[in-house]
Amino acid sequence: MSDIRTSFLGDKPIGRIGFGAMQLAGPGVFGPPRDPDAARAVLRRAIELGVDHIDTSQYYGPDVVNDLIRETLHPYPQQLKLVTKVGARRDDRGGWLPALEPHELRQGVEDNLRALRVERMDLVNLRVFGDGGAPGVPLPEQLGALQDLRDEGKLDLIGVSNVSLEGARRALELVELGEIQNGYSILDRSAEPLLDLCREHAVAFVPFFPLGSAFSGGPSKLAADPAIAAVAAKHGATPSQIALAWLLARYDRILLIPGTTSVAHLEENLAAGDVVLDDDDLAALADVQEAGDPLH
> What are the angstrom distances between the C-alpha of 266 and each of 19, 39, 65, 184, 263?
8, 11, 17, 20, 5
Q: Of the candidates 43, 79, 50, which has an alpha carbon nearest to the alpha carbon of residue 64?
A: 43
Confirm if 267 and 258 have CB atoms less than 8 A apart.
no
- Determine the topology of domain 9-213 in CATH: TIM Barrel (3.20.20)
Q: What is the CA radius of gyration of the chain?
A: 18
Provide CB contacts within 8 A for 196, sequence distance 6+. Answer: none
Task: Please confirm, yes or no, whether 76 is among the known catalytic residues.
Answer: no
pLDDT at 71 over 50: yes
More confident position, 130 or 213: 213
CA quadruple 179, 135, 141, 196: dihedral sign: positive
Distance from chain centroid for Cα 111: 20
Q: What is the pLDDT of residue 289?
A: 78
Q: What's the pLDDT tens digit per position in 241-286? A: 999 999 999 999 999 999 999 999 999 999 999 999 999 999 999 9
CA dihedral angle for residue 70, residue 46, residue 257, residue 272, rounded to 10 degrees: 180
Q: Could you report the per-residue pLDDT of 97-113, keeping only the tens digit for each?
A: 999 999 999 999 999 99
Contact partners, residue 142, CB within 8 Å, separation at least 6 = 87, 100, 102, 105, 126, 133
Q: How far is Cα 258 from Cα 243, in angstroms, rounded to an integer?
A: 11
In this predicted structure, what is the pLDDT of residue 274?
96
Q: Which segment of 27-36, 53-62, 155-164, 216-225 scores lowest on mean pLDDT?
A: 216-225
User: What are the pLDDT digits (tens) for 182-193?
Assistant: 999 999 999 999
pLDDT recorded at residue 3: 57
Angle at 75 between CA 73 and CA 76, to 5 degrees: 65
CA 246 to chain centre: 16
Q: Which residue ranges make up each domain of the chain?
A: 9-213
Report how far Cα 195 is from the mean position of its chain's Cα atoms.
Answer: 14
pTM for this prediction = 0.94
Q: What does the alpha-carbon distance between residue 19 and residue 51 come to, in Å, rounded to a whole number? A: 7
Rounded Cα distance, 91 and 247, in Å: 34
- Residue among 211, 143, 207 nearest 181 (CA): 207
Q: Beta partners for 262?
A: none
Cα 193 from Cα 26, distance rounded (Å):
33
Nearest CA-CA partner of 108 in 80, 144, 136, 149: 149
Q: Are 4 and 273 in contact (CB under 8 A)?
A: yes
Query: Of 59, 60, 76, 251, which one is the catalytic site residue?
Result: 60
